[in-house]
Amino acid sequence: MDARRACAMSDLIILQRVFIDSSIDRALFWKARDKAVVCDIDDAYQLIQDDNQAHKFWGLGEVEILGPYGLKLNKTLDKHPVQQFAESLSKINGLTMPSRILADDWRWAGKCWYVPNYVDSDRYVKWRTCASPDPDWITIGYGASLSHTPSFELSGFLDAIQKVVLQRPRVRVLLCGDRRLFDLVPISNRRKFHLPYVRWDEWPRILGMFDIGIAPMARRYDDSRSWIKAVESSIMGTPFVATRSPAYQDFINLGVGRYVDGGHDDENRPKRAEQWESVLLDMVDHLSDYKDEIRSRYAQCYELTDIDYNVSKVISTYTQILEKG
């Protein structure tokens, strides 16, 4: 009832639910009551490949059903989910997303508005002031789901980190998230540390354990992600290395972070790995300087990414949706 009351009082309803034929009814319910409705997405569903767990649905168009005698069977949908999603967009006001690339890729199906992943800086800053990386290690940290597997493999990071830990005995890797991604990191268990997924309100505490953040990327699917890895590192005052991706263009323009070439071809992967190795070694060897540098840029990063500072931009975008959607 609280959700229905809130929607009834709203001018604009943002639903974080991917609309297909079986889920569009809630949106149509409110559209029939003269409400503006948009769908908020943050994944390039149309680009999901077979190394992603969601490929079964978004790639093959299959769902699991319960058959005779309790057997689980795969059923191919009569209409592909991407087609269902695209057709659903014609029935609402459009899409919001935290990626310009994602917006470009979906303009053919409906109106799109770019709404960055702004953050509540205060929630991070309180952990920044009491950050506690292990003093015995230089910790390279990352948090991710299994969908980041190609990011690790194709970017050259996995090839590079193996060489980095061999050359710098105090370096270790901390990975929070899917254990299977952690298992891919080709270094000894003594030099890598796994933490399971944590709740959103616990995540800044984990970030406080990082000395260096990383954001390896590959393919357009990764380019369609938001800027959140760079945002969190910069607000926490943590030096970071990322793939030079459109997702981080605002930070590249600002001169915040260190970047290596993008790409996903095997031919140039050794070159990308060499860049990762070189940048990480330099950051490890001059960590104090890198920390001083990124912390000196806090005000600029705050102005770029803090939700309270940028709330007028969000309101302006939502006003456009009401006027033009």
Domains by residue range for the chain, with CATH: 2-56+83-116+310-324 (no CATH), 121-305 (3.40.50.2000)
Nearest to 207 by CA among 178, 228, 227: 228
Compute the distance between CA of residue 252 and CA of residue 259 in angstroms, rounded to an integer.
8
pLDDT at 52: 84
Nearest to 182 by CA among 158, 199, 155, 205: 158
Determine contact, residues 132/208, Cβ cutoff 8 Å.
yes
pLDDT at 38: 95
Beta-sheet strand order (sheet of 112-114): 12-15, 36-40, 94-97, 112-114
Kindly state the tokens that stand for 14: 């943002």
What is the model's pTM?
A: 0.92
Nearest to 262 by CA among 280, 278, 275: 275
Strands 192-195 and 212-215 come out as unpaired
Q: Which residues contact 76 (CB under 8 A, 6 or more apart)?
A: 60, 61, 62
Determine contact, residues 277/131, Cβ cutoff 8 Å.
no
Encode pLDDT of 144-154 as tens digits: 888 999 999 99
pLDDT tens by residue, the chain, 325 residues: 588 898 899 999 999 878 888 889 989 999 999 999 999 999 999 999 888 888 898 889 888 877 777 677 788 888 999 999 999 999 999 999 999 999 999 999 999 999 999 999 999 988 877 767 888 999 999 998 889 999 999 999 999 999 999 999 999 999 999 999 999 999 999 999 999 999 999 999 999 999 999 999 999 999 999 999 999 999 999 999 999 999 999 999 999 999 999 999 999 999 999 999 999 999 999 999 999 999 999 999 999 999 999 999 999 999 999 998 7
Kindly state the tokens that stand for 77: 């949908």
Q: Which helix (H) or strand (E) holds 322?
A: helix 311-324
Nearest to 93 by CA among 135, 147, 39, 42: 39
Kindly state the tokens that stand for 178: 């899917």
Encode pLDDT of 115-142 as tens digits: 999 999 999 988 877 767 888 999 999 9
